Structure 1
Amino acid sequence: MKIGVIKDPKQGEARVGMTPENVKILVEAGNEVLVDNNAGAGQVLLMNNILRLAEKIVDTDEAWTAELIVKVKEPMESEYHYFKKVKLFGVSYI
């Protein structure tokens, strides 16, 4: 599974939704972790460890292509265009 770790666009938000241990466990389990290259900009040491373990460091647009998105806060209106329409049991959802 592709898992995207997204930078939160909310002003002043520097946290990131995963720890290095989370990334390591997910990668060892066969997942592909895509880390937004701007995620956790305020936490240099934490992010250096996450980036070392992650499969790929990508831009925001590519990180949003993942099947599972990990963020600290709820999506903001500026991120709504990344949402994909899915069909579950014959019903379409966004």
Structure 2
Amino acid sequence: MINKLIASVLPYFPKKFIWLFSKSYISGETIDDAMRVSHEFNARGIKVTIDVLGEFIRDLNEARRNKEEYINLIDFAQRSGIDGNFSLK
């Protein structure tokens, strides 16, 4: 119940505020950020999990764009030799 409450108010907070709490868990906002940090972890022998977040998708067009972004990310990560998993949200 608390998770739903928090998720429902997050869209109203400034991104910079959210970033203060999430930055230690998130490598960045772009595929390039994800690849860079993933390679850094892999070089230290650590597998990664890469997420494309979609909690705030409101319509079918956004869902389609999110799906394409996810497919591109997986393809790019595989071509880059990333050792890890993908999580769909």
Given the two structures, how large is their TM-score scaled by the length of structure 2?
Answer: 0.33
- Normalising by structure 1, report the TM-score: 0.32
Higher helix fraction (1 or 2):
2
When Rg is computed on C-alpha atoms for both structures, the one with the higher figure is 2
